[in-house]
Amino acid sequence: MTVTSARNLREIYADSEHEKIVLWSDPASDYRGIIAIHSTALGPAVGGTRFWNYASDEDASYDALRLARAMSFKNALAGLPFGGGKAVIIGDNRTTHREEIFRAHGRFVETLAGRFITAEDVGTTPSDMEYVLKETSYVSGLPDRSGDPSPMTAHGVFRAIQASAQHRWGSIDVLGRTVAIQGCGKTGYHLAQELKEAGAKLLVADVDAEKVKRVVKEFGAKEVSPTEIFGARADIFAPCALGGIINDQTLPQLNVEIVVGCANNQLLEETHGNALHEIGILFAPDYVSNAGGIINGCRELLGWQRADTIIKVHAIYDTMLTILELARSKGMPPFRVADALAESRLGASGILTDDALEFTAERPVDDYLIRNGLRSIPIKSGRH
């Protein structure tokens, strides 16, 4: 780990639009962490805790800031009464000293007195959050409460895929379409399952051989190497690993019509979103697609019933289709439309207003609702 000079960090933070950024260390437990709160305009900032061996403090700070902003936008466009924040713990997430690390993290979260509520993310688990709970009540995603959000995240992304397919091909049907999934972890696995059930063909890659083997075995997916997945010939590329995956190296390799997946911050830079738009690849904004996880957390955070969350996740189809149609009508990349709508909801002056989401799309009832016994529940249309 490169220790960055305070001056560099100050420069990174000075450029940010975040409300609060706090660094914390606990030498006794070898804990170092950052919490970035982007906005509390809509409510307390909610965001997961990522545990990662960052190459430098700059990388960790940059990740925390970008992820916190994405959480603000995600919560705003999902219509949730939350702001956006994110925590990162700097270190090797395979550590066996989990109790010490996560209790230190809990004490850090507690210092913010409810302005930030956390949950699990990459490198952390619902069980780790039980250690956080020993020090603070501002934690969710606990094993015996809302639990693993990944199936709901994957279902929301499946709905975003249907909206993208409808927009691009005039049908939500993915039967016979080929989807290249990068990452067969918690979300990638569940997305592969839903796509398989819907009749899609799957190409999958993971740096972890066991994870990819499971998806190949259970869903008849075809394995490709982690380096080949970007150039795989497919209809859809679904990034379900880490962020920044659409970059100068990968973008020219893409051989698909649509990019839509579970990963946060898929674009390394906004320029990559513009470039996708220019070459005619539809990029479905990630924080709209992957809101299912935080919506699942509303069972714990807001006392929602499971049925409420399923309906809300289902509505990602409407939100995404609205954004894609608006983008088409304005000749803008969809991610820019999504950002503008989110900024509008956060109170910043924007080029689009919140009213744009009043648009009501057709909402096809799919097998997921039927399987979950929700067919009889009226589905509200319009704003959600």
Question: Which conformational region is residue 227 in: left (phi greater than 0), alpha (psi within -120 to 50 degrees), or beta?
Answer: alpha
Choose one: 24-32, 163-171, 234-242, 356-364; the region binding ligand NAD (CB under 6 A). Answer: 234-242
Distance CA 41, CA 356 (A): 20
Choose one: 93-101, 146-154, 169-177, 321-329; the region binding ligand NAD (CB under 6 A). Answer: 146-154
Binding of residue 187 to ligand NAD (CB under 6 A): yes
Binding of residue 188 to ligand NAD (CB under 6 A): yes
Return the number of other C-beta atoms located less than 10 Å from residue 95's C-beta.
14
Return the number of other C-beta atoms located less than 10 Å from residue 293's C-beta.
27
Candidates 132, 131, 121, 4; CA nearest to 68 is 121
56 close to 233: Cβ distance less than 8 angstroms: no
Candidates 288, 290, 286, 273; CA nearest to 332 is 273
Name the residue with the smallest CB distance to ligand NAD: 185
Binding of residue 149 to ligand NAD (CB under 6 A): yes
Which listed residue (206, 318, 339, 343) binds ligand NAD by CB under 6 A?
A: 206
Binding of residue 293 to ligand NAD (CB under 6 A): yes
Binding of residue 313 to ligand NAD (CB under 6 A): no
Is the CB of 236 or the CB of 352 nearer to ligand NAD?
236
Return the number of other C-beta atoms located less than 10 Å from residue 384's C-beta.
15
Binding of residue 243 to ligand NAD (CB under 6 A): yes
Q: How far is the CB of 237 from ligand NAD (least distance, A)?
A: 12
Which listed residue (136, 182, 322, 344) binds ligand NAD by CB under 6 A?
A: 182
Q: Which helix (H) or strand (E) holds 242?
A: none
Q: How far is Cα of residue 384 from the mean position of the Cα atoms in its chain?
A: 19
Which listed residue (185, 274, 363, 383) binds ligand NAD by CB under 6 A?
A: 185
Is the CB of 113 or the CB of 207 nearer to ligand NAD?
207
Is the CB of 136 or the CB of 296 nearer to ligand NAD?
296
Choose one: 16-24, 194-202, 206-214, 358-366; the region binding ligand NAD (CB under 6 A). Answer: 206-214
Binding of residue 118 to ligand NAD (CB under 6 A): no
Helix (DSSP H) and strand (DSSP E) numbers for the chain: 14, 12
Binding of residue 231 to ligand NAD (CB under 6 A): no
Cross-sheet strand order for the sheet of 222-223: 222-223, 201-205, 178-182, 236-239, 258-259, 282-283
Binding of residue 153 to ligand NAD (CB under 6 A): yes
Q: Residues binding ligand NAD: what is the number (CB under 6 A)?
A: 27
Binding of residue 242 to ligand NAD (CB under 6 A): yes
Candidates 44, 55, 50, 1; CA nearest to 19 is 44
Tokens of 350: 């924007």
Q: How far is Cα of residue 107 from the mean position of the Cα atoms in its chain?
A: 26
Distance CA 189, CA 193 (A): 6
Which listed residue (150, 164, 319, 322) binds ligand NAD by CB under 6 A?
A: 150
Binding of residue 211 to ligand NAD (CB under 6 A): yes
Binding of residue 36 to ligand NAD (CB under 6 A): no
Which residues does 142 contact at the CB level (< 8 Å), separation at least 6?
126, 129, 130, 133, 300
Q: How far is the CB of 110 from ligand NAD (least distance, A)?
A: 24
Binding of residue 183 to ligand NAD (CB under 6 A): yes
Which listed residue (61, 140, 162, 264) binds ligand NAD by CB under 6 A?
A: 264
- Give the interface with ligand NAD as residue ranges (CB under 6 A): 121-122, 149-150, 153, 182-188, 205-208, 211, 226, 240-243, 262-264, 290, 293
